[in-house]
Structure 1
Amino acid sequence: MTAPQATKSAPRKRPAPKIREGLPAPNTPEGELFHYTPFEAAPWTPFGGRKLMEMIRLREIEFVSNGRDNYLTGRQIAALNERYIVKPFSKAERAAA
């Protein structure tokens, strides 16, 4: 008598995130208070959509929640970009003797 073989089911694929068209840029007056999903905000940030979702889940960045979905406003996207800007190093000038 042989043991029954375990069957492998095909991995479930998640549906692609829906991204609306014709979104205003976050740095425009229309986009300043517009609510972007993490995947819609990703092109304007140094992170991908999944990373933004993870940062929201861990409460590492500010976001807007309506109880079910999480969004980023244009202001929050701009603040996120400012937070991760690397400024060039400048040498200190020598003091005159």
Structure 2
Amino acid sequence: MTAPRATTKKRVPRIRENLPAPSSPEGELFHYTPYEAAPWTPFSGRKLSALIAAREIEYTFNGRDNYLTGRQIAALNERYTVKPFSKPAHATAA
């Protein structure tokens, strides 16, 4: 007789349906989980969770869970957006 095999269950994050976009008036103050916010950010849900755990980004804590509001998602996108380089107007050609 052999020992029973351990079964591993993957924890799949639950994502709610019909979420408002963070840029919409309803989404500005809506609370998104890191996995729900991931499609609107340059990061995955796991990376957002890690950034929140390390306190590297602004987030909302309700006593049990961590959330990102639409405003925080917009600020996060602004923070990690790379602006194109443009030469100053007074620069001369060499």
Q: TM-score, normalised by structure 2?
A: 0.86
Query: What whole-Å deviation, never above 9, does each CA across 1:25-59 have from its counterpart, x for those lacking one?
Result: 00000000000000000000000000000000000
In structure 2, what is the equivalent of residue 82 of structure 1?
A: 78
Q: Please list, as runs of the form range in 1=range in 2, the aligned pairs for 1:25-64 lying within 5 A after superposition.
A: 25-64=21-60
Secondary structure, in 3 states, of the residue corresponding to 2:9? Answer: coil
Equivalent pairs, count: 88
When the two structures are superposed, what TM-score results if normalisation uses the length of structure 1?
A: 0.83
Percent identity (aligned): 70
Corresponding residue SS for 1:52: helix
For residue 92 of structure 1, report the CA deviation from its aligned partner. 2.3
Larger Rg: 1
Q: What is the identity, as a one-letter code, of the residue corresponding to 1:18?
A: R
SS at match of 1:71: strand
Where has structure 1 moved over 6 Å in runs of 4 or more?
A: none
Which blocks of at least 5 consecutive residues in structure 1 are unaligned? 1-6
After superposition, the CA RMSD in angstroms is 1.6
